[in-house]
């Protein structure tokens, strides 16, 4: 049954870069929740913990797409290694400031450079795209595999971060996250044979991929989706603490990722039908509906069950999103295009974690679960409002000039031909 997954590893070097990509992505799920757990223990405030995490996410939203543009222009290895070095140094500074009981404002300064962290998920997918661009079914399976890897990271990451911080010392989760990032980046960049080639530099400045209307819709939808994840993380940790089982928060969050992981595995085994834009819209709407049970939580078992069901819609939606990104940006800007969707999610996580922390401090954890429901409803509204642009892919062979002047005439021409 899993033979489609075995076949994607028939190409030389695929297992090596996929394995390294897994290690390099674990920090994505460890760092934020690790900072929340660390500061809530050391400073006694979820508001501060959520705000510091929010600044980290906002920094990522500002810096990550620029790092990805450099990756597309100069290559993965030349950009990812120095960017990782900056990120690890910033994490070390944060740990030192937290241990020395430095003023709160210094913590905000320390997390700003964390925005330079490379989006290894985008770089891994760019390698799959380079290898299987002529084989859509294998590429679909590869993207589904990477979605599963993302969810495995989100299963292992929170368990490690919260477990280490509560069992050993508050900084343990963030410290191990930094170690994973450093080791994973070195291993990933060492895989030179599968690195996508850099396109020719004609000396002209390329316009940003975000000028694509369809990509902007995806980014805004992912911003609201990220608010779901950010709020769920902070509120669930607080709810578990209110129930007297804070250490179980990582297990409950892992159940959320487990639901997505199972759905991703199944999705990779089937041949997708219909328009990617239609599948995306269905996924976002289902995601919104799946948040309703969280409003009625009474215990951690209820939270775990509700999050498992909610997770079933996550991976298929993410896989479909990557397919849509390919339709909206040229190959030479694929890493940047994928990074913009992650940027939207980072902004959302920042808002969700920050507002979630404030709601928990003011009204308690149960009230906090209204926030992911509102964010999911907003995501569905944005996606449905942008249906027109989601169904207008970049014309085949078009250059990187996006915007109304180029996309609208093409869309009108297609409409005239069909009607």
Report how many domains make up the chain: 1
Residue 235 has pLDDT above 80, yes or no: yes
DSSP-assigned letters across all residues of 275-295 = -HHHHHHHHHHHHHHTTGGGG
308 assigned to some structural domain: yes
The predicted model gives 100-114 an average pLDDT of: 87
User: Can you tell me the distance from the alpha carbon of 104 to that of 95, in angstroms, rounded to the nearest whole number?
Assistant: 13
158 assigned to some structural domain: yes
200 assigned to some structural domain: no
User: Can you tell me the distance from the alpha carbon of 383 to that of 219, in angstroms, rounded to the nearest whole number?
Assistant: 10
Predicted confidence band at 394 (pLDDT cuts at 50, 70, 90)?
A: low
Lowest mean pLDDT among 49-53, 239-243, 335-339, 372-376: 335-339
Q: What is the pLDDT of residue 205?
A: 58
Give the residue, 186 or 361, on which the prediction is more confident. 186
Where helices occur in 290-400 by DSSP H, the ranges are: 300-311, 314-328, 334-363, 365-368, 370-385, 387-390
The predicted model gives 62-81 an average pLDDT of: 82
Give the residue, 414 or 234, on which the prediction is more confident. 234
Q: What is the pLDDT of residue 183?
A: 92
The predicted model gives 118-134 an average pLDDT of: 83
Do residues 194 and 128 touch, judged by C-beta distance below 8 A?
A: no
335 assigned to some structural domain: yes
Residue 164 has pLDDT above 80, yes or no: yes
Residue 95 has pLDDT above 80, yes or no: yes
Residue 50 has pLDDT above 70, yes or no: yes
User: Can you tell me the distance from the alpha carbon of 306 to that of 148, in angstroms, rounded to the nearest whole number?
Assistant: 20
pLDDT in tens, 179-200: 999 999 999 888 888 888 776 5
| CATH code for the domain of 222 | 1.20.1250.20
CA distances from 155 to 27, 73, 245, 287, 391 (A): 12, 33, 18, 19, 33
Predicted confidence band at 403 (pLDDT cuts at 50, 70, 90)?
A: very low
Do residues 80 and 127 touch, judged by C-beta distance below 8 A?
A: no
Give the residue, 379 or 206, on which the prediction is more confident. 379
Residue 302 has pLDDT above 80, yes or no: yes
Do residues 306 and 355 touch, judged by C-beta distance below 8 A?
A: no
Closest CA to 328 of 411, 224, 204: 411
Predicted confidence band at 413 (pLDDT cuts at 50, 70, 90)?
A: very low
Residue 273 has pLDDT above 60, yes or no: yes
Under 8 Å CB-to-CB from 46, ≥6 apart: which residues? Answer: 36, 40, 234, 237, 238, 357, 360, 361
Q: For residue 322, what are the domain limits?
A: 15-195+209-396+403-408
232 assigned to some structural domain: yes
386 assigned to some structural domain: yes
Q: What is the pTM of this model?
A: 0.69
Q: What is the pLDDT of residue 412?
A: 34
10 assigned to some structural domain: no
User: Can you tell me the distance from the alpha carbon of 142 to that of 273, in angstroms, rounded to the nearest whole number?
Assistant: 17
Do residues 410 and 214 touch, judged by C-beta distance below 8 A?
A: no
7 assigned to some structural domain: no
């Amino acid at each position: 049954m899993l033979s489609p997954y075995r076949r994607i590893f028939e190409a030389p070097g695929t297992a090596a870069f996929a394995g390294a990509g897994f290690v390099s992505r674990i920090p994505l799920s460890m760092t934020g929740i690790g900072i929340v757990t660390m500061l809530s223990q050391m400073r006694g405030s979820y508001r501060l913990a959520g705000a510091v995490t929010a600044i980290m996410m906002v920094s990522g939203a500002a810096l990550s797409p620029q790092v990805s543009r450099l990756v597309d222009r100069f290559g993965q290895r030349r950009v990812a290694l120095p960017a990782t070095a900056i990120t690890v140094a910033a994490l070390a500074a944060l740990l030192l400031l937290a241990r020395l009981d430095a003023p709160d404002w210094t913590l905000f300064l320390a997390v700003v450079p964390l925005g330079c962290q490379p989006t290894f998920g985008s770089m891994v997918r760019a390698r799959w795209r380079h290898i299987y661009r002529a084989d859509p079914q294998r590429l679909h399976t590869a993207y589904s595999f990477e979605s599963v890897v993302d969810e495995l990271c989100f299963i292992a990451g929170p368990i490690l971060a919260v477990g280490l911080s509560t069992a050993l010392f508050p900084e343990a989760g963030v410290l191990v996250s930094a170690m994973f990032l450093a080791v994973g980046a070195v291993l990933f960049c060492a895989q030179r044979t599968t690195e996508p080639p850099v396109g020719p530099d004609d000396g002209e400045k390329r316009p940003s991929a975000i000028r694509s209307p369809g990509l902007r819709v995806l980014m805004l939808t992912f911003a609201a989706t990220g608010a779901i994840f950010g709020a769920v993380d902070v509120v669930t940790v607080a709810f578990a603490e209110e129930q007297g089982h804070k250490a179980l928060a990582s297990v409950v969050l892992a159940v959320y990722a487990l639901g997505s992981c199972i759905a991703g595995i199944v999705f990779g085994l089937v041949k997708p039908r219909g328009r990617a834009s239609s599948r995306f819209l269905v996924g976002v709407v289902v995601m919104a509906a799946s948040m309703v049970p969280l409003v009625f939580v009474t215990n951690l078992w209820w939270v775990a069950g509700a999050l498992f069901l909610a997770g079933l819609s996550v991976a298929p939606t993410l896989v479909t999103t990557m397919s849509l990104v390919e339709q909206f940006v040229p190959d030479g800007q694929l890493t940047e295009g994928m990074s913009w969707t992650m940027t939207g999610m980072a902004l959302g996580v920042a808002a969700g974690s920050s507002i979630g922390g404030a709601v928990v401090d003011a009204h308690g954890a149960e009230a906090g679960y209204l926030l992911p429901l509102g964010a999911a409803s907003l995501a569905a509204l944005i996606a449905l409002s942008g249906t027109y642009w989601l169904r207008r892919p970049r014309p085949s062979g078009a250059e990187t000039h996006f915007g109304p002047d180029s996309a609208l005439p093409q869309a009108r021409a297609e409409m005239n031909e069909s009607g």
